[in-house]
Copies of this chain bind each other. A is one copy, B any other.
Amino acid sequence: MELWFTELQTKAHGITTKVKQTLHSEETKYQQLDVIETEEFGTMLVLDGMVMTTDKDEFVYHEMMSHVPLMTHPQPKKVLVVGGGDGGTIREVLKHPSVEKAVLVEIDGQVIEYSKKFLPNIAKELDNPRVEVLVDDGFMHIHQHKNAYDVIMVDSTEPVGPAAKLFEKGFYQGIYEALTADGMFVAQTDNPWFHGDLIRKVFADVKDIFPITRLYTCNIPTYPSGMWTFTIGSKKYDPLSASLPGQLDFETKYYTPEVHQAAFALPKFVKDLIE
């Protein structure tokens, strides 16, 4: 049967992928949540019609969001993940033994529940005792916690709907205050082919607040354009000068120390966005 899921990533371009079956469909309090089984990418989590993560390529996003800051910070103990209800970022964070506590603040509890049910390989560490899961507003959580986290990861959806305020300057200021004196944060900041303006704006906002601001990229097949960016704001440690080991103590499928460095070498048109 020809059953295809299509995500229009811009008004005039998108991906289309063959579907075996729908696993769950629900309009939660915050968004439309769908879990589908695709032929090419396995189980896929879709929020408001946009691919969030898939069995086949989830490791790229989760590794690159987590390990770049955690390999930069010399001793991260307390980590906050804002959003990220699928648990993939948490799973990677826990690979770092220095982390004593990882707090997940996801606004939509249904994302957590159905990720546990249908994406067990991604969500598998959500019940780990080092993890605290809060179904709450990450924006509020940030503003209620001062000097509390060594690393904050903004693992949000696109800047529409519930996540819109997570791309505003005020939020980055709140993050600054929620971080410890040598803390740093990372946020997913979309792709440069269709959303260069967003990258430029976020980078400028973060740069106004943090002494060290960096942009890096990775390749995610199911995300618009296949190239994804992350923006780091750091009070003290520079990911470009991180003291990286020759070999990692944990397993990865995308991140390596070499990839860490290389991810900051921006294509000229991307570099131009932030200079």
Q: Which residues of B contact A253 (CB under 8 A)?
A: 267-269
**Contact for A267 among B15, B36, B41, B219, CB less than 8 A:** B219
> 9 closest A-B pairs (Cβ-Cβ)?
A226-B226, A262-B265, A262-B262, A12-B39, A12-B18, A258-B265, A13-B40, A221-B225, A219-B227
| A1-9, A122-130, A141-149 - the one binding chain B | A1-9
Chain B residues closer than 8 Å to A1, beta-carbon distance: 5, 25, 32, 34, 36, 46, 49
Q: Is the CB of B25 within 8 A of A11?
A: no
* A261 / chain B contacts, CB cutoff of 8 Å: 262, 265
Q: Other than A57-B193, A220-B226, A256-B271, give 17 A-B pairs with Cβ distance below 8 A.
A: A1-B5, A1-B46, A3-B3, A3-B5, A3-B34, A4-B6, A11-B39, A12-B18, A13-B40, A13-B41, A21-B22, A193-B221, A226-B227, A253-B269, A256-B265, A259-B265, A259-B266
Cα-based distance from A219 to B220 in the complex (angstroms):
10
Given contacts A219-B267, A221-B225, A268-B256, whether A16 and B13 have CB atoms under 8 Å apart is yes
Q: Given A25-B1, A193-B57, are A10 and B267 neighbors across the interface (CB < 8 Å)?
A: no
Shortest beta-carbon distance, A191 to chain B, in Å?
A: 8
16 contacts between A and B (CB under 8 A): A1-B5, A1-B49, A2-B8, A6-B16, A12-B40, A13-B18, A14-B17, A15-B16, A16-B16, A218-B267, A255-B267, A256-B265, A258-B265, A258-B266, A261-B265, A262-B262
Chain A interface residue count, CB cutoff 8 Å, equals 62
How far is the CB of A34 from the nearest CB of chain B, in Å? Answer: 4
Main SS class of interface, A: mixed
* Residues on the B chain within 8 Å of A3, using CB: 3-5, 19, 22, 34, 36
**A60 on interface, CB distance cutoff 8 Å:** yes
Q: Are A25 and B20 in contact (CB under 8 A)?
A: yes
What CA separation (Å) do A225 and B219 show in the bound complex?
8
Closest to A263 in B: B262
Residues in chain A within 8 A of chain B (CB atoms): 1-8, 10-22, 25, 32, 34, 36, 38-41, 46, 49, 56-57, 60, 193, 217-221, 223-227, 252-256, 258-259, 261-269, 271
Give the interface centre of A10, A227, A264 by most chain B CB atoms within 10 Å: A227
Query: B2 to A6, Cβ gap below 8 A?
Result: yes
